[in-house]
Structure 1
Amino acid sequence: MAPVLPGRPDAARPQVRAPGPHPQEPYGPPCPWCATPNRPDRHFCGRCAMPLADNGARTTPPGHLPWWRRLFGPGRDEAPWAGERPRLRRVFDRVGTWVTAVVVVTLLILGAVYIPDGYHATRDHFAKRAPVEPDQIKASRAYTGHPAKLAFDKLNNTWWGPGVVQSGQGEWIEVGFARPTRLLDLIITPGVSTRADKLDESALPHRVKATITKKDGSTTTRDLTLDPGAGGQRRAFRVGEVTKVRFTIESAHAASAKKQVAIAEIEMFGRSDGSRT
């Protein structure tokens, strides 16, 4: 027979000792999980490594905790298994959670307070304007032949004047509504006409204070500033539940001892789909 080379030896296999019961202690307390006997002094099973609850390893249960500790304190739920534990929450995470909660609550409160105003403001912005007619018209005084109603007759060649010279400071003209009305815009035409060649015939209102009376009896004021020009001047005048508006003259353009202040027209506008509620 021909010579044969020696074979390559196999690599030595690692000797792994699997956990299990000790052969000399087959009658120790059984594990409640896998029933493997264990020494009495062990706290964890030698086979499955689970806690031995029946051999004194279990800690003494805590005493009775107050309700707020049971509700908000730690240990309310069963401890998760290894590999299923949630991410560790740090101090900044808790602070961020509280800050977020405060911001959300604040936004909800502000939304509940301002949503009605925002709703009406949106409707007012997109609503088509329609003229609003007053039910009552009166003034502090009027010049002969130029009563207060001429400022609301839709004619630009008639006018109202208080019949006093200079600026007419403190004189007023007032309108009332039988039912609460929502107003959106005003157009005030100063002077005795819309024609530019007639501007010198009277003083022109400059600052006008509008005193608004609402349905609940409360009052608020708006300051209107007019230019010394001819023609109507539009001003935003968004206010709801109006029952009365008084326009008081504070100052006038081109006031003199030979002129009285005059207003040719005051036009009020609301929503075209019903300005009264």
Structure 2
Amino acid sequence: RLRWPRRRPGRGGLRRLLAVLLVLALLAVAAWAAVRFGPRAVDAVRDRTTTPEAVLPSAVVASSEARGHPARSLVDGLNNRYWAPAADRPATGQYVELTFDPPIRLMDLIVHTGASPQQDVFVRQARPAELTLTLWTGDGPSSTRQLRLSDRPGPQTFHHVVGGVTRLRLTIDASYGAQRGREVALAEVEVFRRP
């Protein structure tokens, strides 16, 4: 007659206990990952699936302005008017700053350089060749990025995603066609946020 082998007492209970502990550990790791990486993952998905929308700043100021070319010209929707730094000082180091209230999640920045989109007018004034983009957020220090611009009329797009942006500054680092009697013209800056 057949005899089943005897189980040692407690061995099945130990396996069940280990299985339960393993499941609890996996749930704890999953919960930690959701708290730690969940918001970033949700933001990454939303960034890729939503269409950015244009946003106007609540204020625009500049380190200096040439007569007839105020900082506000940067966001007036017209690319035949422009901001230029004051002519009595070097353009390098001059900046224009946009403030956003409430803060935005920056997605794209479109820059139009020069005095006009028409080539013959475009070349009459100097144009920024390099800009430093500086961003401030409400919960942290500023971040910077170099923007290298082509010497051509028309829009130039820069994709740069940063959340909670309260201020955006564009500082002139270098220029095309700079010479005495010419202003460094920055026609338009379009800012796009995630809705």
- Give me the TM-score of the superposition, normalised by structure 1: 0.57
* Alignment correspondent of 2:146: 223
Alignment equivalent of 1:187, drawn from 110, 115, 124: 110
* Alignment correspondent of 1:242: 165
Alignment of 1:4-83 (within 5 A): 78=10
Q: Aligned residue pairs: how many?
A: 179
SS of the aligned residue for 2:134 comes to strand
RMSD: 3.0
CA distance in 2, matches of 1:253, 1:167: 13
- Given that 1:167 and 1:251 are in contact with CA atoms closer than 8 Å, whether structure 2 keeps it comes out as no
Distance apart, 1:191 and its partner CA: 0.5
Distance apart, 1:258 and its partner CA: 3.2
Alignment equivalent of 1:164, drawn from 62, 71, 87: 87
Q: Which has the higher strand share?
A: 2
CA distance in 1, matches of 2:11, 2:163: 60
Instruction: Kindly provide the amino acid, as one letter, of the partner of residue 266 in structure 1.
Output: V
- Given that 1:166 and 1:258 are in contact with CA atoms closer than 8 Å, whether structure 2 keeps it comes out as no
Alignment equivalent of 2:45, drawn from 122, 147, 155: 122
Distance apart, 1:108 and its partner CA: 7.5
Distance apart, 1:261 and its partner CA: 1.1
Distance apart, 1:113 and its partner CA: 3.1
1:256 paired with 2:157, answer no
SS of the aligned residue for 2:123 comes to helix
Task: Judge which range, 209-218 or 142-151, deviates more.
Answer: 209-218
* Alignment correspondent of 1:150: 73
Distance apart, 1:269 and its partner CA: 0.9
Instruction: Kindly provide the amino acid, as one letter, of the partner of residue 127 in structure 1.
Output: T
- The CA deviation string for residues 70-124 of structure 1, in whole angstroms up to 9 with x for no partner, is xxxxxx96468xxxxx9xxxxxxxxxxxxxx9xx95x876664333222212211
CA distance in 2, matches of 1:120, 1:201: 44
- The CA deviation string for residues 237-270 of structure 1, in whole angstroms up to 9 with x for no partner, is 2111111111111111222233221100001011
CA distance in 2, matches of 1:165, 1:253: 18
Q: Which has the higher helix share?
A: 2
Extract structure 1 runs of 4+ deviating beyond 4 A.
Answer: 107-112
Q: Which stretches in structure 2 are left out of the alignment for 5+ residues?
A: 16-24
Distance apart, 1:151 and its partner CA: 0.8
Q: Which stretches in structure 1 are left out of the alignment for 5+ residues?
A: 1-47, 51-75, 81-85, 87-100
- Give me the TM-score of the superposition, normalised by structure 2: 0.80
- The CA deviation string for residues 193-215 of structure 1, in whole angstroms up to 9 with x for no partner, is 11122221121112111111111
CA distance in 1, matches of 2:11, 2:161: 61
1:202 paired with 2:128, answer no
CA distance in 2, matches of 1:166, 1:140: 11
- The CA deviation string for residues 12-63 of structure 1, in whole angstroms up to 9 with x for no partner, is xxxxxxxxxxxxxxxxxxxxxxxxxxxxxxxxxxxx9x9xxxxxxxxxxxxx
SS of the aligned residue for 2:39 comes to helix
Greater gyration radius: 1
Alignment equivalent of 2:135, drawn from 195, 212, 219: 212
- Given that 1:167 and 1:252 are in contact with CA atoms closer than 8 Å, whether structure 2 keeps it comes out as no
